[in-house]
Amino acid sequence: MLLDFEQPIAALENKLQEMKKLASESQVDVSEAVKALEEKIKNLKKETYANLTRWQRVQLSRHPDRPYTLDYIHGIASKFVELHGDRTVSDDKAMVGGFGEIEGRSVMFIGQQKGRNTKQRQLRNFGMANPEGYRKALRLMKMAEKFGKPIVTFIDTPGAFPGLEAEERGQGEAIARNLKEMFMLKVPVICIIIGEGASGGALGIAIGDKVMMLENTWYSVISPESCSSILWRSWNYKEQAAEALKLTATDMLQHKLIDGIIKEPLGGAHTEPAKMMRMLKKEILNLLDELEAVDSEERIMQRIEKFSNMGVVLES
């Protein structure tokens, strides 16, 4: 799948393929032309992806080929055992979690999971968790705390499920309880936004000692389309909404709402998933080393202080 801003790159890549095909089928030497075109494509890619608008980064974060939570878990961890159910209502397929090993370290992984096709998307509810999903996540966090294992959460959701049945079962209370309990967890907590980070649905598993964002992701109280529909009564102004929301990883870091940005391969995580897994694994291991060196009580106080300092307060 090609996005609008990727069309010029695709056109040059097609031309390159035709040139290589011509060279293989004839005796014409086009090696210099091929080399020049490859350099031109490389430079165009660098220029394009270095100057993406906020809306274009939103588009990249939603690319259907991007790795999802389970892709990352299986890509960076071994011996992953998925755990199910909130022990109250049901097992929410939009929220996954379980123990896995990274370089011999046991880690509790939790995250929203989207689907690849229509059937999977329905099963995963498009990555929108119900209250039982957040309660399952909290149950797993408490289990990790009991056994003294660090927690890594992957955030990728367009928001918590807004259906009537979700509200009846206490969607707001489930998310609020997660916020409260995550502040007090005695084990290291690393939260990584790997795609979409929308509203309380994302925040429900995003209170951590380190909150990181992949380069082409977004994190905001509302999606650009929903913001546009509220302000302009139309989705046609989503680009302007994205600019106003300042929702990219760079924006979040400038406002001190996250702790760092994890670079992606040129073109996005989906272009070189294996490389993305290696980069993410290295980052997680470095963060675990840093956090485990801090006393648990001190870590909790730093976590609380970090989130308490967010935002702007004007005193009269």
Give the pLDDT score at 26.
78
The whole model's pTM is what?
0.93
CB contact at 8 A, 160 and 25: no
Tokens of 34: 């091929």
CB contact at 8 A, 237 and 225: no
Q: Residue 33: which region, alpha, beta or left (left: phi > 0; alpha: psi -120 to 50)?
A: alpha
Distance, in Å, from the CA atom of 133 to the CA atom of 151, rounded to the nearest integer, reads 16
Tokens of 171: 């969607």
Distance of CA 94 to the CA centre of its chain: 14
List average pLDDT for each run of 10 residues in the chain, which is 316 residues long. Answer: 88 87 76 86 92 96 96 96 95 98 96 96 96 98 98 97 95 96 98 96 97 97 95 95 96 96 95 96 97 96 95 78
Tokens 């005193």, residue located: 315
Q: In 130-206, which residue ranges form alpha helices assigned H by DSSP?
A: 131-146, 164-168, 171-183, 199-203
CB contact at 8 A, 94 and 133: yes
Give the pLDDT score at 103.
94
**Residue of 129, 205, 197, 199 lying closest to 169 (CA atoms):** 129
**Residue of 124, 125, 198 lying closest to 159 (CA atoms):** 198
Give the pLDDT score at 28.
72
Give the pLDDT score at 311.
82
Distance (Å) of CA 232 to CA 106, 162, 221, 240: 48, 22, 17, 10
Distance, in Å, from the CA atom of 150 to the CA atom of 202, rounded to the nearest integer, reads 19
Give the pLDDT score at 29.
75
Distance, in Å, from the CA atom of 303 to the CA atom of 39, rounded to the nearest integer, reads 46
Give the pLDDT score at 32.
83
Q: Is the dihedral of CA 155, 142, 286, 210 positive or negative?
A: positive
Give the pLDDT score at 25.
78
